[in-house]
């Protein structure tokens, strides 16, 4: 379950059902699922045996489980289709079961990493020096997420102004702000009435503040609904879907009326994915030519920016 609210739902499930338990053994059923553990699947499995799992942590879309304190942790990323499921021991293996963690206790459940597309995985890493909560060193470059008290809005705004990129690209750049993916980027931009191709350098401080507020709001709303699920690929540790998909305003709503103005929501190919937006509420940025000696032609009507009507 890819984006922050879905990953947070999983984190809470791990905290409830896995933290405090001791690993008895690990089965790696697909080597690609541990490819970020450079020492290999066997090393990953052996080093987990007998370790006690601490409180579940999260930054953006990354999860980690500290082991016997905070010096080392199991890092998890769900990619596009990863699931962490707490299943009864002996339940039939899922078709795309990649890794199984068995526990020493008699609770009768095990932790399973199931991942159809194998973009996700588990790995073992030391903590970054000086970082809080045993943050694994390999994700030290990931920015705090907007629900983290450590998130620095001033720093974020300064980075946006410095960048020569567009606002949606920036939202998906996990080194600037983490946890935002394609769904919540489109939702926050819709709420902010911002077009995805708006250059970040044009954002004023109030606009950045408003955008951040909408990101936090939509993520908290989604969290309260158990996350966004379009199908059974996106579930919590007990296999249950969230129901925020019914509350989406832009994502996946092509040709449906904008809930604000009634114009049909549009879908545009964008970075090998899609961007959903309201063509009336979210006007494309005006393309400005560099100042030259010849007067620039008037922009074509189709490419014109927002107009003030009065």
Q: Which residues are catalytic?
A: 2-3, 61, 273
- Give 16 or 273: the residue with its C-beta nearer to DNA: 273
Total residues belonging to the chain: 310
At closest approach, how far in Å is the CB of 19 from DNA? Answer: 23
Distance (Å) of CA 253 to CA 72, 226, 256, 271, 278: 43, 20, 5, 19, 10
Burial of 66 (0-12, 13-18, 19+ CB in 10 A): buried
CB nearer to DNA: pick between 23 and 159: 159
CB of 241 to DNA, least distance (A): 9
Smallest distance, Å, CB 51 to DNA? 24
Asked whether 276 and 266 are in contact (CB, 8 A), the reply is: yes
The smaller minimum CB distance to DNA, of residues 30 and 259, is found at 30
**Is the distance from CB of 50 to CB of 23 less than 8 angstroms?**
yes
Write out the residues near DNA by the rule CB under 7 A.
1-3, 6, 32, 60-61, 77, 79-80, 95-96, 116-119, 162-166, 169, 172, 174, 178, 181-183, 227-231, 233-234, 245, 267, 269, 271-274
**Least distance to DNA, CB of residue 244, Å:** 8
- Please say which residue, 14 or 180, places its beta carbon nearer to DNA: 180
- Least CB distance to DNA at residue 162 (A): 7
Q: With respect to DNA, which residue has the nearer C-beta, 34 or 109?
A: 34
Contacts of 80 (CB under 8 A, 6+ apart): 2, 117, 119, 120
Taking the least distance from each CB to DNA, the nearer of 165 and 209 is 165
Is the Cα torsion angle 177, 180, 181, 187 positive or negative in sign? negative
């Amino acid at each position: 379950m890819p984006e922050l609210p879905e990953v947070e739902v999983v984190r809470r499930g791990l905290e409830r059902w896995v933290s405090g338990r001791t690993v008895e053994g690990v089965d790696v059923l697909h080597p690609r699922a541990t490819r970020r553990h450079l020492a290999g699947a066997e090393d990953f499995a052996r080093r987990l045996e007998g370790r006690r799992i601490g409180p579940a942590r999260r930054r953006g879309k990354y999860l980690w489980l500290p082991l016997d304190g905070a010096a080392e942790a199991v890092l998890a990323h769900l990619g596009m289709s990863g699931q962490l499921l707490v299943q009864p021991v002996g339940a039939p293996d899922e078709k795309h079961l990649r890794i199984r963690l068995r526990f020493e206790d008699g609770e009768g459940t095990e932790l399973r990493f199931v991942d159809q597309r194998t973009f996700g995985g588990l790995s073992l890493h030391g903590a970054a020096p000086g970082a809080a909560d045993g943050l694994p060193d390999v994700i030290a470059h990931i920015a705090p997420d907007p629900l983290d008290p450590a998130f620095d809005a001033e720093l974020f705004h300064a980075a946006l102004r410095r960048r020569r990129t567009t606002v949606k690209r920036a939202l998906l750049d996990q080194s600037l702000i983490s946890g935002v993916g394609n769904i919540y980027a489109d939702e926050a931009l819709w709420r902010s009435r911002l077009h995805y191709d708006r250059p970040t350098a044009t954002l004023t401080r109030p606009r950045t503040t408003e955008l951040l507020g909408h990101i936090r709001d939509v993520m908290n709303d989604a969290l309260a609904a158990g996350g966004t699920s379009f199908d059974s690929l996106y579930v919590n540790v007990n296999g249950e879907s969230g129901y925020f998909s019914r509350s989406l305003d832009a994502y996946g709503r092509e040709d449906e009326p904008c809930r604000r103005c009634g114009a049909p929501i549009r879908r545009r190919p964008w970075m090998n994915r899609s961007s959903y937006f309201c063509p009336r509420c979210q006007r494309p940025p005006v393309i400005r030519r560099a100042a030259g000696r010849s007067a620039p032609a008037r922009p074509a009507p189709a490419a014109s920016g927002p107009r003030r009507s009065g």
